Structure 1
Amino acid sequence: MYKEKIMIIAMLLVLVFNVVAPVQVSHAASLNSVVSTLGASTVPGTDGGGSSGGSNIFEKLFSFLFDKILGPILNIFDGGKAATTSPDSPVKVTPLPSGDGSSVTGSSGVLRGKVIVVDPGHGGSNPGAVANNTRESDNNLAVSKKLRDKLTSAGAKVVMTRETDRTVAAEGSSLGQELAARVNIAEANKADIFVSVHSNSNPNPAIYGAMTFYPSGKSSQLALKVQNGIVKATGAVDKGTSPATFHVLRNTSMPSILVEMGFVTNAGEARKLQEDSYRNKMAQGIFDGIVSYFAN
């Protein structure tokens, strides 16, 4: 029995030396891996015919050697720092507050208190340009109402010349009377700016793009700001700005523009002008231009 103990201790020391040497170099082994290695190579299975006394002595020596002496010295328990980040230990994550997704455009308050008249061109018995199953008056009204909502949210006082599919003057009035009725609304409300919204047409269906008109000698900056806003928001072809003598431009005393959003005679542009998402982009572009105008 004594000789058996001496042999076991000698074998243990040899095995410990073989295992501890690489551990000292890497410092990466865990106690579990060392136990597995030693157990697999030295401890006989229950069906191997080994004596239980030898196994018990081995286990006690092994436990004493690693738990009391080698473990504290080599710091191999728990595998060093790597063991402190167990995947079973949840990491507390504090999420950032989510935004509300709202646009900050116009949040500076430059539109607060401004009186803006939005004029959806045509309407009622005068649908304007009609092509590719699209009526100009419908496009004009849809975008104008979206623009109204954006301006109102930014603090502006918005006056619409029409909010339904109708003429502004009494039905049966002349074209001159119809246009004069729109100008009169702007003048009566002492508007800061007047924005007339239209859709274009051309005998050549290949022509497309957005453009903005202004009265000769004034309002060119408003037109430029709005045109730039439209192009940026929609990606429309930029057909630029130009002076014009339209009735609603030459007869209004405040800065005035007439926006031509696109050509209903062009199939692709007509399709876009009927899309709610594109209409929203168009309204956003006009809105951004107006904010930029008042901000400067």
Structure 2
Amino acid sequence: MYNKKILTILLLFILVINVVGPVQVSHAAALDSVIGTLSASSVPSTDGGSNVFDKLFSLLFDKILGPILNIFGGGKATTTSPGNPVKVTPLPPKGGNSGIADSGVLRGKIIVVDPGHGGSNPGAVANDTREADNNLAVSLKLRDKLINAGAKVVMTRETDRTVAPEGSSLGQELAARVDIAEANNADMFISVHSNSNPDPSIYGTMTFFPDGKSSKLALEVQDNIIRETGAVDKGTSSATFYVLRNTTMPSILVEMGFVSNSSEARKLQDDSYRNKIAQGIFNGMVKYFNN
């Protein structure tokens, strides 16, 4: 019986040699391991010799077939060790929310933010929405973003009031806003408004700039508001508004949306949407200063 087992082992050994023969020399060490282990296993065991077969098949698959299969891409990856670590390259971080890193370009800039209307002049009123309230809410959010970026922000108003003394003419009111920008030697003037139209089906966002200057600023701000809000893009245009034609620094007037349109009026009262508008204006300013 024992002789038959030895014969069986020899036949299996011949089979292993025939399999390993064509394998490249780099795996020849596996043969030495097989021969050594078979020699050590030739002593009869108490379990009737099954240990020999266990070791033989273990060697066949772990020492021989494993490396062979790995040659052809079918085996497992080589196990790492402290002396042979795998180099892991971390993936770049995903983009954050919709903000744009200011890279410090706003630090020290003097920005005048002008919430249109206020006090006894509420601006356009429709669909239970007052323009002056929307203008102030977005302007305050923009102020906070600019301050966080290191800018010096001057507000023409921070409450529901007129800028010029109550009872002043419209010309005096507008002149008071321009005077604040000029007195502070502002680097930029941003006037924030809401729009209105007799046709309630009209809606969208537009940005105005003084004729002959600030068109690049208007384009950057308009583009980024649309990116943030998804609003209908009504483009940019030059205009002769008092606060634009009388300021000497880059200046724009943003019409955020139409309070006369019921859907857009609801959006303009929504805190999340207001933040998106402020973020869009901020992003456009950063891109302008980065260019």
The separation in 2 between residues aligned to 1:84 and 1:190, in whole angstroms, is 66
Q: How far does residue 201 in structure 1 lie from its aligned partner after superposition?
A: 0.3
Q: What is the rounded CA distance, in whole Å, between the counterparts of 1:83 and 1:243 in structure 2?
A: 67
Tell me if structure 2 keeps the 8 A contact 1:202–1:263: yes
- 1:124 corresponding residue in structure 2: 119
Over aligned residue pairs, what C-alpha RMSD do you find? 3.8
The reply on whether 1:161 has 2:161 as its aligned counterpart is no
Residues 168-213 of structure 1: CA deviation (Å, up to 9, x unaligned): 2223333222222211111110111111000000010010111111
Q: 1:62 and 2:57 equivalent?
A: no
Describe the shift of the 1:189–1:13 C-alpha distance in structure 2 as closer, same or farther (beyond 3 A).
same
1:77 Cα deviation after fit: 7.5
Deviation for aligned residue 1:66:
4.1
| Code of the aligned partner of 2:242 | H
Q: Which of 164, 170, 174 is residue 175 of structure 1 equivalent to?
A: 170
Q: Residues of 2 paired with 1:95 and 1:21: CA distance? A: 44
Match of 1:105 in 2: 101
1:95-116: per-residue Cα shift (whole Å, max 9, x none)? 9597894744311x22222111
Corresponding residue number in structure 2 for 1:291: 286
For the residues of structure 2 that align with 1:131 and 1:263, how far apart are their CA atoms?
9
Which ranges of structure 1 fall in alignment gaps of 5 or more residues? 1-5, 27-55, 87-91
Alignment partner of 1:235 is 2:230: yes
Distance of 2:169 and 2:240 partners within structure 1:
19
Matches of 2:64 and 2:77, distance apart in 1: 8
Secondary structure at the counterpart of residue 48 of structure 2: helix
Deviation at 1:79, TM superposition (A): 8.3
Partners of 1:239 and 1:72 in 2: CA distance: 75
Give runs of aligned pairs for residues 14-163 of structure 1, distance below 5 A: 59-67=47-55, 70=56, 74=60, 76=62, 80=66, 101=96, 103-107=99-103, 109-163=104-158
- Does structure 1 conserve the Cα–Cα contact (< 8 Å) formed by 2:100 and 2:283? no
User: 1:215 Cα shift?
Assistant: 2.0
Structure 1 residues 79 and 240, CA, compared in 2 at 3 Å: closer, same or farther? same
Distance 1:83 1:259, change over 3 A: closer
One-letter amino acid matched to 2:60: L
Does residue 265 of structure 1 match 2:251? no
| Secondary structure, aligned partner of 2:47 | helix
* Aligned-partner SS, 2:164: coil
Q: Indicate conservation of the 8 Å contact 2:45/2:51, yes or no.
A: no
Q: Over residues 54-87 of structure 1, what are the superposed CA-to-partner deviations in whole Å (9 max), with x where a residue is unaligned?
A: xx988232224544xx35763557984769999x
TM-score (norm 2): 0.72
Alignment of 1:155-234 (within 5 A): 155-234=150-229
The amino acid of 1:106's aligned partner reads D
8 A contact 1:71–1:77 mirrored in 2: no
Q: What residue is the counterpart of 2:273 in the other structure?
A: 278
Distance change (3 Å), C-alpha of 1:158 and 1:73: closer
Task: Select the structure of larger CA radius of gyration.
Answer: 1
Distance 1:190 1:73 in 2: 84
Structure-1-length-normalised TM-score:
0.71
Matched-pair contact (CA < 8 Å) for 1:118–1:161: yes
**Match of 1:231, as an amino acid?**
I
Number of aligned residues: 255
Kindly provide the CA deviation profile for residues 15-42 of structure 1, in whole angstroms up to 9, marking residues without a partner as x: 9979x979x979xxxxxxxxxxxxxxxx
Give the letter for the 1:74 counterpart.
Answer: L
- Give 1:63's aligned amino acid: N
State how far apart, in whole Å, the 2-side matches of 1:132 and 1:16 are. Answer: 96
Unpaired segments ≥5 residues, structure 2: 21-43, 68-74, 80-85
> Which deviations, in whole Å up to 9, do the C-alpha atoms of 1:107-145 show, x marking residues without a partner?
1x2222211100011122222111122211111111111
